[in-house]
Amino acid sequence: MPKEVFITETNIISPLGFDVAANIQHIEQRISGVRQHQDFRFSPDPFFGALIDPAARDTAFSALSATTEYTPLEKMLILALHPIVKTIPGPKTALIISTTKGNISVLAGQHDTVPPQAYLQHLAHTVGAFFKFQTTPIVISNACVSGILAVATAQRLIATGRYDDAYVISGDEFSEFVFSGFSSFQALSDAPCKPYSLHRTGLNLGEAAAAVYITADPALKQDGAVKIIGTGAINDANHISGPSRTGEGLYRSIENALQEAKIPATALDYISAHGTATLYNDEMEAIAFNRLGISSMPVNSFKGYYGHTLGASGLLETILAMASAKQNRLFESLGYDESGVSVPLNVITEHREQNINYFLKTASGFGGCNTAVIFEKI
């Protein structure tokens, strides 16, 4: 019989703070990390995005190491994981790192050679060596579902006995490469993003790192922990960059997660959705939720606070949803004003109290990938 698996420890490094408490405090105050920037490394024109203060990041990292060889993303990942690694990891402890582009910024100015830091396995081994992991790190890089897919992967590896426990870290940095890519799609908003709103004009990019500890040891459960009770990940292969018009992959991912969780859809108390604020993504999600009969469930997107943090977003937003469940408090979907999707959706318009026992986290990404994970508060 598969083991029960729990998330017991969490941490966040973001423009809104370097721990979970600081991030929640900013969300409570409706403070967004999305700002207007003028930074010629990314664009000749001003743009809106959520960037971590590099001086604050480097100052925090200097307390952990005097070595200057680490890249900005490696510093973010190590800072995220450091508070929750209490001892040297054992021989059956997994390290799972999820990212979409890794150290993509080291390729800037390179024409003939590829620096070793650009390879994802090099990034994973660098982080693993810092904490003296004994197992070979696992890399999950599957577009914007990477972070939540890493949680689903860890749950299965532990439930089946392949590993005793796992540390999962997700992170992506703000880069010229990614900025140029989304600009070419005309997907970037020239104002703070508005997920699900009639007035949405696209997404903002952001950067963050998030980390969790996942275990089957019931003795390690503590206040705020959650049990992972159902997962689903379906690729509908609709288009390399466009989501399915019927929400097919997301619909089936949630359906599979509900079957594994052995709960009816009506048992869900809250949905933390992907909500990028692009026209097609938000419409696709709304259609999938309606097809499943869960459109009346309170739903929010955290992109208004953080922008789209790509491979970090799924794990970052899972941690925020865990905080929401712990406090029995729904957080406003920042930027939402008037519905801009073609079917009904119960978007959270203000912070409010609500009992939360079960919640659903979803993510969707390029290439038709989708992932859904259902959590139970314990």
| pLDDT, tens digit (0-9, with 9 covering 90-100), for 226-260 | 999 999 999 999 888 889 999 999 999 999 999 99
Domains 5-220 and 229-377 share a fold: yes
Tell if the pTM clears 0.95, that is, is over it. Answer: yes
Q: Could you say which architecture CATH assigns to the domain 5-220?
A: 3-Layer(aba) Sandwich (3.40)
User: Whole-angstrom Cα distance, residue 203 to residue 352?
Assistant: 26
Domain spans of the chain, in order of start: 5-220, 229-377
Under 8 Å between Cβ of 14 and 4: no
Give me 350's structure tokens: 């203000």
Amino acid at the residue 103: N
| pLDDT, tens digit (0-9, with 9 covering 90-100), for 330-354 | 999 999 999 999 999 999 999 999 9
Give me 233's structure tokens: 């990940």
Q: What pLDDT sits at residue 112?
A: 86
| pLDDT, tens digit (0-9, with 9 covering 90-100), for 108-155 | 888 889 999 999 999 999 999 999 999 999 999 999 999 999 999 999
Residue partners of 367: CB distance under 8 A and separation at least 6: 142, 143, 235, 237, 240
Residue (of 109, 114, 105) closest to 71 by Cα position: 105
Q: What pLDDT sits at residue 266?
A: 96
Domain 229-377 top-level CATH class: alpha beta
